[in-house]
A and B are shown apart, each in its own frame.
Chain A
Amino acid sequence: MLEATGISKVFGRLRAVDDVSAEVRQGEILGLIGPNGAGKSTFFNCLTGDLAPTTGSVRFLGEDITTRSPEARAELGLARTFQLPQTFTGMTVLENVMIGAFLRTSVTAEARERARRILDIVDMAHLAQTPAKTLGTPGRKRLEIARALATEPKLLLLDEAMAGLNPTEVRAAIDLVRVIHGMGITLVIVEHIMEVINSLADRVIVFHQGREIARGTPREVTGDPTVIEAYLGKRASRAGGRT
């Protein structure tokens, strides 16, 4: 569905992403994990069009989208959320979602209707007329997802959609991701929380210092000594190997 080939991104003298390739298959949930600064968010932004890769190419549904704008990618069915919620604070919750819905209709009443249906799905219907600026982090993260869903994506990329949530909220968010997956939407999730990856992802790609160091099922990669070393340092990995 989405193929990224040989992606590198260089900022000045820093190689934030170094020759990473990945393929997202129709219907799966792919996890991107790695310690802070590993390059997973940079890689993610190359997929969404917010950053242009220095080298490499991105294909989506058979089309080369490497140089396409974010709005053109949205049109093709690729949606994203932001790690720091980019809430439209001057609008109500419903209006925020309408912005996404306007991608598939130019009629305001129709966009409002579609946005209401999305708010039902994400369980925010009671907040429709609330000014979005009054939402806290959990509400804003959920609203990000609702807006993206309103664009009727085929592939949804979630950038740390659970960061900053408490365990109860994380469980609610996991349930929401399952619902979205059940709608037939393919997902890519960037995540710090291993619990989330373990319970959601079919496959995982592990980043470290801009490179891919492992890939496989969540169970396979969490047992991989290179991965443990990257997360916890050398000594921990040796200690882990002994027990």
Chain B
Amino acid sequence: MKKLLWPGITAVLLLAYPLVFTTPFQQRLGALVLLYAIAASAWNIVGGYAGQISVGHVVFFGCGAYASLALFTHTGLPPVLGMPLGIAAAVGIAAIIGTPTLRLSGHYFSMATIAVAELARLVTTNTEFLGAAVGLSGPTVPRTWLDLSFISSVPYYYLFLAVLVITLGITWWMERSRIGFYLRAIRDSEKAARSLGARAPRVKLIAYLLSAGLTSVAGSLYALMFQFVDPESGLGILISVKMLIMAALGGAGLLFGPLVGAAILVPLEEISNSLLGGRGAGLTFVLYGAIIVLIARFRPDGILGLFQSARKAPEKHDA
């Protein structure tokens, strides 16, 4: 019973939020927190559980956002139908990137993923089909309900909440199954995990594909809400960094870590943007840099890690 206490409280708070906080700013903020929580939770599967720090995850986010809006622009179909296309593209790209780069260890993997992300941004900027530097727009005026275009943020909020629940459900299932155990073992010592029979290259690749697919969903949801994507908002390196920092701040490799991180960072960023306006953009980078330094120095296992280690001790004797 006790185990369900915190998830239960979290669920009630998340369900009630738009009913308690009723201004458009607050509701939009809530939807954004959930959107980033989805992306960061997807990142967490490969970055947190498997310990493979990808800084190129925005490629998959871009797959989702671009698939949705490119489908609409070129065929007129509702953007939401682009979601499966985005997932397919993201998983395909992940397989191509992952097979060689997951063999690299530590920083080399991170650097390779940055290179791929920047390449994708440059290619997109020069591809007319994807709107080049101008970007792609969605149906600003909804034609049918399938366009999922709403003025209020509340429908998006609940849509994102449902997807977040699915994402965390998949993560939770993975965490308790063999693949989750293998991922954590590989993170601690790949050599030992392999000696015990874990097929490390395959296990890491599966996690990477799963993570890529879910990140792409977050990208499609972003496109649904904002109805616009350009190389900066869909493929900018800052989005990768945000996923990473949110997961690390809340607790990388912990189920609710990314949600906690998103709940702290998104409001912080939105408030600083609204206070400082356009001048705030540069400050965001400074803020993120400072957070990275603080996490690395003081709490490598994130905020939730604090509670985790405090809780572990009394559990010692229950069987």
Q: Which residues in A have some Cβ–Cβ distance to B below 8 Å?
A: 48, 50, 69-71, 74-75, 79-80, 82, 86-91, 95, 98-100, 102-103, 106, 108, 111, 128-131, 147-148, 150-151
By the criterion CB–CB under 8 Å, are B196 and A99 in contact?
A: yes
Question: 11 additional contacts, CB 8 Å, given A82-B195, A99-B182, A99-B193?
Answer: A50-B195, A69-B199, A74-B197, A79-B196, A86-B188, A86-B192, A99-B198, A102-B197, A147-B196, A148-B196, A151-B197
**Whole-angstrom distance from the CB of B315 to the nearest CB of chain A?**
6
Q: Tally chain B residues at the interface, Cβ within 8 Å.
A: 27
Cross-chain contact of A69 among B189, B194, B196 (Cβ < 8 A): B194
Chain B residues with CB under 8 A of A79: 195-196
Stretch touching chain A among B53-61, B95-103, B173-181: B173-181
- Contact present for A74 and B181 (CB under 8 Å): no
B184 adjacent to A130 (CB under 8 Å):
no
A176 to B193, CA, bound (A): 23
Contact A71 B189 (CB under 8 A): no
Q: Closest 7 interchain pairs by CB?
A: A86-B192, A103-B197, A74-B197, A86-B189, A88-B188, A70-B194, A99-B185
Contact at A50–B316, with CB atoms within 8 Å?
no
Q: How far is the CA of A98 from the CA of B192 in the complex (A)?
A: 13
Main secondary structure of the interface of B (DSSP, over half): helix
Bound state CA distance, A90 and B308, in angstroms? Answer: 11
Q: Which of A50, A111, A129, A151 contacts B317, CB < 8 Å?
A: A129
Contact A70 B182 (CB under 8 A): no
Residue pair B195, A74 in contact (C-beta under 8 Å) = yes
**A50/B191 contact (C-beta < 8 A), A91-B185, A108-B177, A131-B312 known:** yes
Contact A106 B185 (CB under 8 A): no
Given A111-B178, A130-B316, A131-B312, A88 and B185 touching (CB < 8 A)? Answer: yes
| Interface residue B261 (Cβ < 8 Å from any Cβ of A) | no
Separation in Å of the A129 CB from the closest CB of chain B? Answer: 5
14 pairs across A/B with beta carbons < 8 Å?
Answer: A48-B195, A50-B191, A71-B200, A79-B195, A80-B195, A86-B195, A88-B185, A90-B184, A90-B187, A95-B181, A99-B182, A99-B198, A111-B178, A150-B196
The answer on a CB contact under 8 Å between A82 and B191 is yes
- CB-CB < 8 A to B12: which residues of A? none
CA distance A80 to B189 in the complex (A): 14
User: Which chain A residues lie closer than 8 Å to B198 at the CB level?
Assistant: 71, 99, 102
Contacts of A69 in B (CB 8 A): 194, 199
State the Cβ distance, A184 to closest chain B Cβ, in Å: 20
Given the complex, which residues of B lie within 8 Å of A80, measured CB to CB? 195
CA A206 to CA B178, docked complex, whole Å: 41
Closest to B318 in A: A129
Q: Are B178 and A151 in contact (CB under 8 A)?
A: no
Give the CA-CA distance A65 to B194 in the complex, in Å: 15
Is the CB–CB distance between B178 and A108 below 8 Å? yes
B62 lies within 8 A of chain A by Cβ: no
Interchain CA distance A88-B197 in the complex, whole Å? 14
Whether B178 pairs with A106 at a CB distance below 8 angstroms is yes
A129 partner residues in chain B, CB cutoff 8 A: 315-319
**Interface: B253 (CB within 8 A):** yes
Give the complex CA separation of A71 and B196 in angstroms: 6
Chain A residue contacts of B189, Cβ below 8 A: 86-88
Q: What residues of A have a CB within 8 angstroms of the CB of B312 in the complex?
A: 131
**8 A Cβ contacts from B116-130 to A:** none
Q: In the bound complex, what is the Cα–Cα distance between A129 and B176 (angstroms)?
A: 16
Asked if residues A128 and B319 are in contact (CB atoms below 8 Å), the reply is yes
Are A103 and B188 within 8 A (Cβ)?
Answer: no
Are A89 and B188 closer than 8 Å at their CB atoms?
yes
> How far, in whole Å, are A131 and B177 apart by their CA atoms in the complex?
20
Q: Give B300 Cβ to nearest chain A Cβ, in Å.
A: 11
**A130 smallest CB distance to B (angstroms):** 6
- Please judge, given known A-B contacts A87-B188, A129-B316, whether A98 and B181 are in contact too, CB under 8 Å: yes
In the complex, per-residue mask of B197-212: 1 if CB is within 8 Å of any chain A CB, else 0: 1111000000000000
Interface pair B191/A86, CB less than 8 Å apart = yes
Closest to A150 in B: B196
Chain A residue at smallest Cβ distance from B313: A131
**Residues 150-183 of B at the A interface (beta carbon under 8 Å):** 176-178, 181-182
Q: Which of B181, B189, B200 has the most CB of A within 10 A?
A: B181
User: Which residues on the B side are within 8 Å of A111 (C-beta)?
Assistant: 178, 181
**Residues of the B chain whose Cβ atoms lie less than 8 Å from the Cβ of A82:** 191-192, 195
Q: Which residues of B contact A99 (CB under 8 A)?
A: 181-182, 185, 193, 196, 198
